[in-house]
Structure 1
């Protein structure tokens, strides 16, 4: 097969895959109500009714006036660490704002990336509380905690920020926020003490709430997911889009698991103790806000009893190492798609190279050299096959002249010619098709790996994770593709096919304009290496007396 046809095939395959992916996002079936979900519910040890549990989960925060304008009796408590700058509302003890101190909004900007926010048009907060018969939170009122100070700053290795409350019926509550240097996860701990002479019952809950507005994903060539996700003891990782939240209600029981909200390179997640029974839920609030969370088992405290309840709140980047340590499957929020099995080892190799080179662009170049070196045997077969195919073109033309429109005889004669000349007509296609999974694996790696966000290369390439601002790399890639085309001239006779082949470098250049600069750098270097390899292979063939042009 002609090399140009192979290039056309791989180009169409990539574009078709991206179109299919967008179609899947729009038309994916909803997970709620499927037999597998029902089976999970039937097999879990929890027998409580989620409707009863959810009746007390506070919704008052969905009222824009109360949340956004802070028309409450609470105060804002600010906490600054080396990784987080957050605001906690003493009304409910909700985290209503979180800035990531180690991530800028734009490259070299002094402004820090804001993940959780209390804005009118972009509400995104992390809530937790105690509901149930004696819980201080309800669907109409939230607990209002006391605090000794409203501004805290991490100075040592850890910091505990306590909020306290004693209810009218004698339940003493301390809600601790425990921060650790270098980490984006916050331990949210309740210390409950029953100071009354009767039993008290509470049910812990957590939820993430976000406005639907502005939650659209990226375009076809830069698709990014913004929405919810969850994990249970039966489902390792499942996306749960805002459309899912609007159209159905999540209701699943699990031992352990987690719930999360994803936003491109960043994630917020509530993680219970992994031996804790939880009931996952979602709620659509007036088609304005979506929530995902979980409730825990009802806790009974006898008079004089004290108990501790802990949940982890992660607010930060999709750092695979940190997320993997926090909970099973949480690292899968770094979603590499169907080629995760290839993206992950390529990413670890890229990180390893970066640890030595100190530049992600150089690491990409080196990984390209390694990939092309590993594929050299296939490349050699590819170009030898294409060289032989061009060498037998006169003989093939003679067969066409001889058999004319008799396709059966023509086909038999061509197969005999291939056998006699030891030519594989598919030999030039397979190595290029093999590159497609590698290309797509790297593509997802650039979209999802926060380590590559704002990664500089040299000269005008200030961020390898976004498109080249001056389109220089895509143009150079198109030139390299044109050079490869000239090395393997078009031999097809059909005028339409000839025009398609001639315009392929231009078409692919237009496509690559929208791809991350790092991915275009990979393809450009790959083409340049292929040019060198092809010249070496053809020179070797000529020395062996094989005509290749």
Structure 2
């Protein structure tokens, strides 16, 4: 098969891939934005199917009442009414490269709500009717130098003498927070409570584009479904209702995630709900009874941070799947691990990409050589194929049989030129998702003007060089001059089209493609010389 036709095939696949991405975005539009006026009480957001209690009335606290918590990885604000986390920022991940302002994940204001809520419902649950106001010894808590663990206790005692201690435990270097309830039943009757945890977010905030199709929305996991996206649009149409052992719920965005992970050994209920322009996804743990004079501890883990696969896997074996590589995950995951290993050796993400490209191209060299050898043999057979067309041009069946006999006799595989391309394109797409999803590459510096490999080249130099390398590859093709004028024009515009597409692609991906082209040019020179020596010019 002619190399020019193969390039057209790549172009068509490439365009089809981009169109598919845009169609996927169009099929999952965000719901219309509605301004959230207050922070609704979490128990009011629990699905109506719950057999626990009626919905309470929520309460909004002023910012002066919020409890501040600062660690080496998190800056949180907790509302003493209900004990919800209403603000979370990541001091190790800046909003802008080179800036001082930390990236904000959770927030709550008149324009946007994204909070992590938790509480106890049930017959004696303090969140069943109205959110409890916890007493806290202090307004600000900080993880000091040399301190590995920070505990923030909040206490509420109801009219029946039942004490509820909501305890937040922070660990140095970690983005997960342990949220435990210690219930001490000082009443004369049994106390029945049920813990719930949920994430709530306004649905109007958009992310992604045609060339960077990132996902902002919910996701969950059950014992039967390891990972499932549940978009805001799905939440608005259909409430989630899943019973499972373990499981988790999450809200995803580009590079970062928040998630509630309940007790893995318990039978939990996952739910979702759409309310006043806000999407809610949560977990209800089993109802529990505390006898008079007894004590019960129950809890869950809240993760707010980057999509760090190692850290996520420690919380749940499937939570690392929020780093979504799509249907080519089985290719992307080894590429990711190889990239991480190479970076540990060279210390620069750009050079790690270059070395990885050399390894991939070197691994594919035998297939590339087979491709060009097959093309050369096909060109050598053109006179014989033309004779067959003149003899059997009107009889397609006899023509096909004669061609197959000729290929068998000459030991030529007519599809031999396609295999390297079919292998190369999935690798390209998989590596695209590695660069798109890998938080390690966010704000990763390379050299010179490329200061962020996860963003487009600010001066478009790499895409232009990539286009020039494609043009050089075309000129090296021996059959370019034999094509008809229309085919030549199509092929001449291919580098221009690819350059246009790559203008908005992450610089790391363009670097990979550019280096790959340069390696291919070198390989072509070597292979052509070998073919000349074999009489297959």
TM-score higher than 0.5 here?
yes
Q: Report the Cα distance in structure 1 between the residues aligned to 2:508 and 2:332, rounded to whole angstroms.
A: 14
* CA 1:127–1:59: 2 relative to 1, 3 Å: farther
| Match 2:220 to one of 227, 230, 234 | 230
Question: Equivalent residue for 1:276?
Answer: 266
Whether the aligned pair in 1 keeps the contact of 2:53 and 2:121 (CA below 8 Å) is no
Q: Report the Cα distance in structure 2 between the residues aligned to 1:176 and 1:225, rounded to whole angstroms.
A: 32
User: Would you say 1:341 and 2:360 are equivalent positions?
Assistant: no
Question: Equivalent residue for 1:476?
Answer: 465
Whether the aligned pair in 2 keeps the contact of 1:233 and 1:257 (CA below 8 Å) is yes
1:201-220 equivalence runs, <5 A: 201-214=192-205, 216-220=206-210
Q: Report the Cα distance in structure 2 between the residues aligned to 1:352 and 1:324, rounded to whole angstroms.
A: 19
| Match 2:450 to one of 461, 478, 491 | 461
User: Would you say 1:248 and 2:246 are equivalent positions?
Assistant: no
Question: Equivalent residue for 2:350?
Answer: 361
1:388 Cα deviation after fit: 2.9
| Stretch moving more, 155-164 or 491-500 | 491-500
Q: Report the Cα distance in structure 1 between the residues aligned to 2:114 and 2:256, rounded to whole angstroms.
A: 13
Whether the aligned pair in 2 keeps the contact of 1:121 and 1:213 (CA below 8 Å) is no
1:491 Cα deviation after fit: 5.7
| Stretch moving more, 10-19 or 250-259 | 10-19
1:5 counterpart SS class: helix
Corresponding residue pairs, total: 516
1:93-492 equivalence runs, <5 A: 93-138=83-128, 141-155=130-144, 156-214=147-205, 216-286=206-276, 288-393=277-382, 396=385, 402=390, 406=394, 408=396, 414-415=403-404, 417-488=406-477, 489-490=479-480
After superposition, give the CA deviation of every residue in 1:32-55 in whole Å (9 maximum; x if it has no partner).
Answer: xxxxxxxxxxxxxxxxx9713465
Q: Report the Cα distance in structure 2 between the residues aligned to 1:405 and 1:491, rounded to whole angstroms.
A: 26
Whether the aligned pair in 2 keeps the contact of 1:282 and 1:292 (CA below 8 Å) is yes
| Match 2:79 to one of 58, 74, 89 | 89
After superposition, give the CA deviation of every residue in 1:193-219 in whole Å (9 maximum; x if it has no partner).
Answer: 0111111111111110000111x3412
Question: Equivalent residue for 2:40?
Answer: none
Question: Equivalent residue for 2:36?
Answer: none
After superposition, give the CA deviation of every residue in 1:236-289 in whole Å (9 maximum; x if it has no partner).
Answer: 111110001111111111111111000111000011110122111111112x11
Whether the aligned pair in 2 keeps the contact of 1:56 and 1:131 (CA below 8 Å) is no
1:23 Cα deviation after fit: 2.7
* CA 1:252–1:55: 2 relative to 1, 3 Å: farther
Question: Equivalent residue for 2:513?
Answer: 523
Whether the aligned pair in 1 keeps the contact of 2:52 and 2:121 (CA below 8 Å) is no
* CA 1:54–1:463: 2 relative to 1, 3 Å: farther
Question: Equivalent residue for 1:77?
Answer: 67
* CA 1:59–1:454: 2 relative to 1, 3 Å: farther
Question: Equivalent residue for 1:37?
Answer: none
Q: Report the Cα distance in structure 2 between the residues aligned to 1:399 and 1:252, rounded to whole angstroms.
A: 64
* TM, length-normalised to structure 2: 0.91
* CA 1:57–1:388: 2 relative to 1, 3 Å: farther
Q: Report the Cα distance in structure 2 between the residues aligned to 1:339 and 1:185, rounded to whole angstroms.
A: 29
1:117 counterpart SS class: strand
1:528 Cα deviation after fit: 0.7
Q: Report the Cα distance in structure 2 between the residues aligned to 1:212 and 1:151, rounded to whole angstroms.
A: 31
Q: Report the Cα distance in structure 1 between the residues aligned to 2:150 and 2:121, rounded to whole angstroms.
A: 27
1:346 Cα deviation after fit: 0.7
* TM, length-normalised to structure 1: 0.89
* CA 1:114–1:407: 2 relative to 1, 3 Å: farther
2:141 counterpart SS class: strand
Q: Report the Cα distance in structure 2 between the residues aligned to 1:199 and 1:422, rounded to whole angstroms.
A: 84
2:164 counterpart SS class: strand
Structure 2: unaligned runs, 5 residues or longer: 29-46
1:507 Cα deviation after fit: 1.1
Q: Report the Cα distance in structure 2 between the residues aligned to 1:92 and 1:111, rounded to whole angstroms.
A: 28
| Stretch moving more, 237-246 or 422-431 | 422-431
